[in-house]
């Protein structure tokens, strides 16, 4: 509420989630690994895709 008070009402609300099956993530996993084993990789790919969206 403090953010709304400071900046005003938002005109757009976007929800963006990570998908562990993104090809960028799957390509970098070692044999037998899953996305859960590499939260650093998931976070990095998520951040890149978020920046591309913005």
Residue spans of the domains in the chain: they are: 14-53
- pTM value is 0.73
Closest CA to 45 of 15, 26, 13: 26
pLDDT of 39: 95
Per-residue pLDDT of the chain (54 residues; tens, 9 = 90+): 888 899 999 888 889 998 999 999 999 999 999 999 999 999 999 999 999 998
pLDDT of 1: 83
How far is residue 1's CA from residue 10's CA, in Å, rounded to a whole number? 11
pLDDT of 27: 96
How far is residue 26's CA from residue 34's CA, in Å, rounded to a whole number? 8
């Amino acid at each position: 509420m403090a953010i709304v008070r400071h900046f005003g009402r938002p005109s757009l609300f976007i929800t963006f989630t990570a998908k562990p099956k993104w090809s960028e993530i799957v390509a970098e996993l070692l044999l037998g690994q899953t996305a859960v084993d590499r939260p650093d990789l998931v976070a990095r790919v998520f951040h890149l895709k978020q920046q591309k969206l913005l």
